């Protein structure tokens, strides 16, 4: 396989061009999460480069968190655990003191022009439409999070005609299954705000009471923005904890 095809920056070191080729295979879905990529010996034959170059390219993707090595098994595409990331901020316990993952209820799915903050996050045109999902997350019978989710319409067009009941509790595997869009990484911003009338009603709290706000932009393996999500949760259950060595 040629590493000198049009569109590649031929000034880059050879290992970086190999890295870009590997990333293209992941982004295109040729190598799926939790599945092994070809061995180093196989990659040397595919790209016609030394094994040291292959190893350095793979090391770069491992360091970026896109691949992981399993001793004796090979190198695999990593599937991040985004729900663990989100719920580290909230003390979500059942009535008997166990940690549980909240269930979800999709309230609506609409195709419309998004607000400016979603347009900017998704890097889409100001007149482009996007898919908006409004969702609640429940712990037992109590709403613990509200979610407003925006998706670029061309990439998620197959979601427009689905029944709301067909949407899964975990959206990222659902995106992969229905649309072939794989979420690889995300950037989150955490702030504290006052509950609006609608947020307060949904969370069963007082208007203007403090709520934690988590904004997330999720990206594909090629760093294309695939989802913008804003979540609100009561500050009463919010807990920030970090270990500093």
161-186 pLDDT, tens digit per residue, is 999 999 988 898 899 889 989 888 88
Q: Report residue 222 as tokens.
A: 């090629």
CATH architecture assigned to 14-77: Orthogonal Bundle (1.10)
Nearest CA-CA partner of 129 in 113, 148, 110, 116:
113
The rounded distance, in Å, linking the Cα atoms of 55 and 19 is 10
The CATH code belonging to domain 82-237 is: 3.40.1410.10
Same-fold call for 14-77 versus 82-237? no
**Is pLDDT at 42 greater than 80 in this prediction?**
yes
Could you tell me the residue ranges of all domains in the chain?
Answer: 14-77, 82-237
Say what the pLDDT of residue 178 is.
93
Model confidence at 129, pLDDT cuts 50, 70, 90, reads very high
- Which is more confidently placed, 86 or 47? 47
The whole-model pTM stands at 0.74
């Amino acid at each position: 396989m040629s590493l000198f095809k049009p569109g590649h920056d031929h000034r880059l070191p050879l290992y970086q061009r190999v890295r870009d080729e590997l990333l293209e295979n992941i982004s295109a879905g040729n190598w799926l999460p939790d599945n092994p990529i070809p061995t180093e010996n196989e990659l040397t034959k595919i790209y016609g480069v030394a094994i040291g170059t292959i190893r350095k390219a793979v090391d770069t993707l491992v360091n970026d968190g896109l691949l992981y090595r399993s001793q004796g098994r090979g190198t695999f595409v990593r599937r991040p655990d985004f729900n663990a990331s989100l719920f580290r901020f909230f003390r979500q316990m059942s009535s008997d003191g166990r940690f549980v993952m909240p269930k979800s209820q999709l309230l609506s799915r609409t195709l419309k022009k998004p607000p400016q903050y979603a347009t900017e996050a998704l890097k889409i045109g100001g007149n482009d439409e996007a898919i908006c999902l409004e969702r609640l997350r429940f712990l037992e019978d109590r709403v613990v999070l509200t979610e407003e989710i925006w998706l670029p319409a061309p990439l998620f067009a197959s979601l427009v005609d689905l029944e709301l009941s067909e949407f899964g509790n975990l959206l990222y595997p659902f995106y992969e299954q229905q649309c072939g869009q794989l979420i690889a990484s995300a950037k989150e911003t955490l702030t504290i705000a006052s509950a609006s009338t609608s947020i307060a009603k949904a969370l069963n709290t007082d208007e203007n009471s403090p709520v934690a706000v988590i904004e997330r932009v999720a990206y594909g393996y090629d760093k294309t923005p695939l989802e913008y999500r804003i979540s609100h949760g009561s500050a009463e259950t919010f807990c920030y904890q970090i270990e500093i060595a």
